[in-house]
C-alpha cells in the first residue's frame, strides 16, 4: 500500500487525517513534536515519528527514517490572532517559521525522492482566510498565503515530473486547538481602540451557527488530493470553505 507522511498529528486535522488513511488501508507515518501512542489505534501500518518542522536536523532525521513517501501532507502549524500593529516580533517570527518555512522545508526534503520516481503527491493545508481578509489574523493569514503562493508555483514546476501538488483550504473549525494555542499570543484586549474589534472576532470564532469545517472534512479533502488525479489545485476543506471559495470563484 502507499505510504503517507502527515505533519502535526497531535490533534485536529492531522490526527483525523491519520485515522482516515489508516482505516482505508494505507501505511501511515504520523508525526508530531512529542509522539503519543495513545492518540491513534494500534496498527502494524502505523509509525509515529518525532518531528519539529522548525528544526532542520529533526526534518532530515524524520525523512531519513521514514523511507519512501508517496504522499506528504504538510498540516503542522498554529494561529496567533492579534492586530497587525500589536503582533509581537517573536510571534511574527514563530508564525512564519512554523507555517511557512517549516512547510517549505518539508517540501524540499521530500521532493527529491518523488522527482526521481516521477511520482508522488504534495498536499499543503492552509486556510480559507487566505482568500478573504478578516481582522485580527493578518500575520497568520500572511504566513498561510505565502504557502499558497509557493505551492501554486510548485504545481507548475512539478507537472513535468509526474508529482501532483494540492492546497487544502479548511474553514472555521470548532474541532481544533486554534483558539487554545493562539490565546497566549493575543494582544489588544486592554486597548480601547482594538478591544471591540478583537471581541467581535472572538465572538465570530465561537459562533456555532451556520456552516463550519469539521476535522473529517479536511481529512476527506486530503484523501481526494491523494487519490484523485483529476483533483483541482485548490480543494475546500469544509462546508464554509466551499461557500467562501465559490464566492471568490477559486
Active-site residue list: 140
Pick from 175, 179, 163: which is nearest to 233 by CA? Answer: 163
The three-point CA angle 102-169-1 to 5° equals: 75
* CA atoms within a 13 Å half-sphere pointing along the CA-CB vector of 151: 30
Pick from 130, 140, 78, 75: which is nearest to 107 by CA? Answer: 75
Alpha carbons 66 and 194: distance in angstroms, whole number:
46
Collect contacts of 35-40 with beta carbons under 8 A, ≥24 apart. 36/10, 39/9, 39/10, 39/15, 40/9, 40/15
20 with 87: CB under 8 angstroms? no
φ/ψ of 27, rounded to 5, equals -85, 125
Pick from 45, 24, 11: which is nearest to 224 by CA? Answer: 24
Residues paired with residue 49 on neighbouring β-strands, in sequence order: 31
Amino acid at each position: 500500500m502507499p505510504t503517507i507522511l502527515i505533519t502535526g498529528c497531535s490533534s485536529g486535522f492531522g490526527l483525523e487525517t491519520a485515522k482516515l488513511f489508516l482505516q482505508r488501508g494505507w501505511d501511515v507515518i504520523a508525526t508530531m513534536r512529542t509522539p503519543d501512542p495513545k492518540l491513534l489505534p494500534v496498527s502494524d501500518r502505523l509509525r509515529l515519528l518525532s518531528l519539529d518542522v522548525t528544526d532542520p536536523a529533526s526534518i532530515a532525521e524524520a525523512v531519513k527514517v521514514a523511507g519512501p513517501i508517496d504522499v506528504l501532507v504538510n498540516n503542522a502549524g498554529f494561529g496567533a490572532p492579534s492586530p497587525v500593529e500589536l503582533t509581537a516580533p517573536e510571534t511574527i517570527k514563530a508564525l512564519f517559521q512554523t507555517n511557512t518555512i517549516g512547510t517549505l522545508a518539508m517540501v524540499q526534503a521530500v521532493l527529491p525522492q518523488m522527482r526521481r520516481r516521477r511520482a508522488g503527491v504534495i498536499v499543503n493545508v492552509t486556510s480559507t482566510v487566505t482568500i478573504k481578509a478578516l481582522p485580527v489574523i493578518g500575520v497568520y493569514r500572511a504566513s498561510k498565503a505565502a504557502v499558497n503562493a509557493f505551492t501554486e508555483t510548485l504545481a507548475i514546476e512539478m507537472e513535468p515530473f509526474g508529482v501532483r501538488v494540492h492546497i487544502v483550504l479548511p474553514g472555521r473549525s470548532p474541532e481544533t486547538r486554534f483558539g487554545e494555542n493562539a490565546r497566549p499570543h493575543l494582544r489588544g484586549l486592554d486597548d480601547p481602540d482594538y478591544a471591540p474589534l478583537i471581541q467581535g472576532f472572538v465572538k465570530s470564532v465561537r459562533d456555532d451557527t451556520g456552516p463550519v469545517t469539521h476535522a473529517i472534512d479536511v481529512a476527506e479533502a486530503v484523501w481526494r488530493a491523494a487519490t484523485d488525479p483529476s483533483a483541482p489545485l485548490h480543494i475546500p476543506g469544509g462546508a464554509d470553505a466551499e461557500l467562501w471559495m465559490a464566492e471568490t470563484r477559486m
